[in-house]
Chain A
Amino acid sequence: MNDAGYWSIFLNAALINNFVLAYFLGICPFFGVSAKLETAVRMGGAASFVMLVASVCAFGINLILEAINAPYLRIISYILVIASTVQLVEMLLRKLSPATFRALGIFLPLITTNCAIFGLALFQTNKGYSFTQAIVYALGAGAGFALALVLMAGVREKLDLADVPELVKGTAAALIVAGVLSMGFMGFAGLGR
């Protein structure tokens, strides 16, 4: 039983231990998508939504696993559920909002191997959060992920126009920017204590 407060959980997930900048989760889409601001916003939104759904599912699965005392099935059941959730979200989006579906394009299936979603499920289980705590955690993580994505995209768009040495262009530059952003986020430590 974890008795951290809701605000503390949210701030922790969004800022202090930001999933991308502190835990290095979700790096692949982070570098792949953050080149343009608009795609970054969309990806952030999609990932947040999937995180919320995955969090709920993970909570449910964990209850079942503990009831039948099979902790070793955790990894395999979490990842299968996350993969199916993404499929479901894809199908739903296609039916309900074809415009959004087309805009997201390839990004939706990419969310399946997004370490951030899986990491969220694992961390939430490790910390022993209750249902509401888990929801708050997922919301915070999604918000943090989207925030990091948007900040990164903003910087990279400007960087594209700057005079960057050939060798540094591309991933190396993105990594350095990410490093500086990460240092910036360290300033949030101790918030919400």
Chain B
Amino acid sequence: MALKKVSPTDEFMKGLWRDNPVFIQVLGMCPALAVSNTAINALAMGLATTFVLVMAGLSVSLLRKFIPREARIVSYICIIATFVTCVDYAIMAISIELHRALGAFIALIVVNCLILGRSEAFASKNNPGRAMLDGLGMGVGFTFALFFIGVVREILGSGTLFGVDMFPDGFQTWTVMVLPSGGFFAMAMWLLVVNWIRQRQQDAEKQAGERVREVTS
């Protein structure tokens, strides 16, 4: 079986669009919806998750020869929980206000299916360098997704972006967008956009394929 040679850049890039964790793989939605009511919160959550992804990927990859098959999941969970704890305390040290805003969702990074999934599917089978790139790519893609959802929710729901008023005083904010329902709606909206773009890409590829067949037939 010939293994396709994946370049390091591709390892990183795939998390951004092709295998975007939130919109394509539909993993790690819990924090995507919960913490994205302002752009800053979404960004902070995304960065925290990226950190755990990279460090967990690195650790799992370094230890992959030592972790017995039967104890895989338990070990991964242990490692992920450790880094999540570290991030939790790091954020508390940086800013109490930010920690209060993100609340229990920092701790909930540990059950983010994304990290466990990447550890199992990728980090345990690749060298540390690639594992880190994969983690970084997925993390950045995750952060982008969270950020876009957060931007929409904050602008429509509070009329601000990063706390800066975007609209003149008369603007009636769509408060629903910063409520849980808004999270669902904002994500649905972006999902539709992503689906639409992919549909067009697929149609374009199909048309290109047909043209090639016409030429060669």
Please give the residue numbers on chain A whose beta carbons come within 8 Å of chain B beta carbons, in ascending order: 21-28, 31, 72-76, 79-80, 83, 113-115, 118-119, 122-123, 126, 166-168, 171-172, 175-176, 178-180, 182-183, 186
Please state if A122 and B108 are interface contacts (CB–CB under 8 Å).
yes
The B contact surface, by secondary structure, is helix
When A75-B84, A118-B111 are in contact, do A171 and B181 touch as well, CB less than 8 Å?
A: no
Cross-chain contact A178 with B192 (CB below 8 angstroms): no
Contact residue among A23, A26, A74, A167 (Cβ-Cβ distance under 8 Å from B195): A167
Taking beta carbons and an 8 Å cutoff, which residues of B are in contact with A?
A: 26-27, 29-31, 33-34, 73-74, 77-78, 81-82, 84-85, 88-89, 104, 107-108, 110-113, 116, 176, 179-185, 187-188, 191-192, 195-196, 199
**Choice from A122, A167, A178, A186 contacting B184 with Cβ under 8 Å:** A178
Do B181 and A186 touch across chains, with their CB atoms under 8 A apart?
yes
B61: min CB distance to chain A, Å: 20
Which of B30, B74, B104, B108 is in CB contact (< 8 Å) with A80? Answer: B74
Are A28 and B33 in contact, with the CB atoms below 8 A?
no
User: Would B176 and A171 count as touching, CB distance under 8 A?
Assistant: no
**Given A75-B81, A79-B77, residue A114 in contact with residue B111 (CB < 8 A):** yes
On chain A, the residues within 8 Å of B104 by CB distance are 119, 122-123, 126
Q: Which chain A residues lie closer than 8 Å to B176 at the CB level?
A: 183
Bound-state CA distance A178–B192 (Å) is 15
If A22-B180, A24-B180, A182-B181 touch, does A75 touch B188 (CB 8 Å cutoff)?
no
Task: Please give, as numbers and ranges, the residues of chain A lying within 8 Å of B34 by CB-CB distance.
Answer: 23-25
Inside 8 A of A28's CB, which chain B residues have their CB? 27, 29-30, 113
Q: How far is the CB of A99 from chain B (nearest CB, A)?
A: 26
